[in-house]
Each structure stands twice: as C-alpha cells, then as structure tokens.
Amino acid sequence: MTLLELVDVTASYGPVRVLEGVSLSVPEGGAVGILGANGAGKTTTLRAISGVVRTTGVIRFDGDDIRGLRPDQVAARGIAHVPEGRGTLPNLTVRENLMVGAYLRKDRRELATDVDYLLDLFPNLAARISHNASAMSGGEQQMLAIARAFMAKPRLLILDEPSLGLAPSTAKNVYEAIRRLRRESGIAMLVVEQNANLAFSIVDTATVLETGRSVLTGTSAELKGRDEIRRAYLGG
C-alpha cells in the first residue's frame, strides 16, 4: 500500500521555480532514497512534503491530500522531518529536545519507554541528557535530531542528508542507527543523501532527480552503475 505519493509536484521560492515536476512514492514501511546532484531539488522535495514551500501538483499521504497544510499540520498527520543541518533546539537540553519531539503525543506513559529505547540506541545522548544540545558534536546533534523525530512516533520519517558534515566513521554510525531503527520499528523512510553508497545501505528503491524533475526510479540493484546515477553525482 502506498503511504506517500507525489505526482508532478512543482515548487517555487518566490519567482524562482525549483521543482519542475517530481513524482515518487513511498510504500507503507518502505525506505526510499532521493538521489541527485547539488541543486537538483532534493531538499526542496522534502520541504514541499512538509509544507514549507508553495507547491502545485498532488501530495497524498495515507490517502489524504496534504498539499497546502502548514508544517505543524503535516507533522500531526504522522510525518517527522529531520531537516538539513539537523535542526536541533540548541538552548534546550537533550531531554527537552526529545520531549518537544513528543509534543503531539497523548500516551504519556509510553514516552519513558521510548526515551529509554532511544538512549540505548544512542548511548552518546544518554551521557549528555541534561546538557544543552548546542554543547554536542555534529554527529551527536544529528543523532539527537533523529531521536527527536522518532519521539513523535511518526509513520514516515523524512531525513535530509543525515551524513552532511560528518566524518565518514560518524556518518557510518548514524546510518547504523537508522538501519536499526528501521528494522525494529518498521517505520517508513524517505532519505535524501549525497553519498549514494550510504543511501543504498538503507533504502530499497530510489528516485533520481535532475534539475527539478524525477528522471528515474528503481531498486538499488537496478540503479547502481546507471549513467543517471553517475551524472547525478559527477554533474554531467
């Protein structure tokens, strides 16, 4: 069953049109990657879903049209967005960041269980639970951002370049944790990633964007070695 579906979506920042027609779909429990060169519209596609930019076309989530909703309304539908550059709340503690993530939840009793689960998954956060997020390293902040999004118990997790600015070994750790989250929660994911190998380590299928258009969709096995992939990263 399709959880998220984009059909011919366009998006603009003021007069500048960034997306020219993006179509993709994420099945329930599936993990889909968005690949493409810088400026191809990967981040804008995620922002279109979250309602941050003005869009045309069809954006359907769980059968409902969600195009035109505000970001907080999109979140309330069950989509958690980890933005580019992490988007932690720097002057709040790690625990407070997690609690903000759980803002829309009503099941207060299960919150503690989920916090424990995430602290087990990200031991670095456990050690800094009462520190301000700003005092943490880039990798730890990325982990906190993912943990905060997960606290919302979303049905779809949107990740915008989780490896951005991280040392390769840290990026590997972050992806390890994302893989485990996916395995243990069965949550659907839509991942933008520059590093195709990292992306293919978690996604089943991927859509390739070129200058604001989706040009190719396929499974990881089909896509590896395709010209479009090479172009997307070498800029052809």
Partner 1 sequence: MGTFIQLVVDGLAMGSIYGAIALAIVLVNQSTGMINFAQGGMAVLSAYFAYALLGMGLPLILAILVAVAISFVLGALIERLLMRRFESGDPDTAVVVTIGLLTLITGIAGMVWSYNNLQFPSLFPPDSFSVLGAAVSWRSLGTFLTIAAIMVLLQLMFQKTKVGLALRAVADNPKSSAFSGLPVGRLLMIGWGLAAALGAVAGALVAPRLSLTPGMLDGALVYALAAVILGGASSPIGVVFAAWLIGVLENLAAVYVPFIGHDLKIAVPFVLLFVVLLVRPQGLYGRKTVVRV
Q: Taking a C-beta distance cutoff of 8 angstroms, is the pair 143, 150 a contact?
A: no
Shortest distance, position 99 Cβ to partner 1, whole Å: 6
Shortest distance, position 187 Cβ to partner 1, whole Å: 16
Q: Is the dihedral of CA 176, 181, 184, 187 positive or negative?
A: negative
Q: Which of 2, 28, 39, 103 binds partner 1 (CB under 8 A)?
A: 103
Q: Quick one: DSSP state of residue 131?
A: S
Cα–Cα distance list, 82 to 144, 151, 191, 233 (Å): 10, 12, 10, 23
Residues 38-57 that bind partner 1 (CB under 8 A): 50, 52
Q: Which of 101, 139, 162, 212 binds partner 1 (CB under 8 A)?
A: 101
Shortest distance, position 108 Cβ to partner 1, whole Å: 10
Q: Residue 216: phi, psi to the nearest 5? A: -160, 140
Cα–Cα distance list, 32 to 135, 161, 220 (Å): 32, 13, 10
Question: Is there binding between residue 111 and partner 1 (CB under 8 A)?
Answer: no
Q: Which residue has the tokens 């007069």?
A: 15
Interhelix angle 138-151/168-185, nearest 10 degrees: 10
Q: Which of 6, 94, 152, 209 binds partner 1 (CB under 8 A)?
A: 152
Q: Which of 28, 38, 54, 70 binds partner 1 (CB under 8 A)?
A: 70
Shortest distance, position 151 Cβ to partner 1, whole Å: 8
Question: Is there binding between residue 88 and partner 1 (CB under 8 A)?
Answer: yes
Q: Which of 56, 132, 173, 195 binds partner 1 (CB under 8 A)?
A: 132
Question: Is there binding between residue 96 and partner 1 (CB under 8 A)?
Answer: yes
142, with CB counted inside 10 A (0-12, 13-18, 19+), is buried
Q: How many angstroms from the chain centroid is the CA of residue 223?
A: 20
Question: Is there binding between residue 75 and partner 1 (CB under 8 A)?
Answer: yes
Q: Which is nearer to partner 1, 4 or 152 (CB)?
A: 152
Q: Which is nearer to partner 1, 92 or 216 (CB)?
A: 92
Shortest distance, position 141 Cβ to partner 1, whole Å: 8
Distance between first and last Cα of the chain: 35
Q: Catalog residues that contact partner 1 under the rule CB under 8 A.
A: 50, 52, 70-72, 75-76, 80-83, 87-92, 96, 99-101, 103-104, 132, 134-135, 138, 148-149, 152
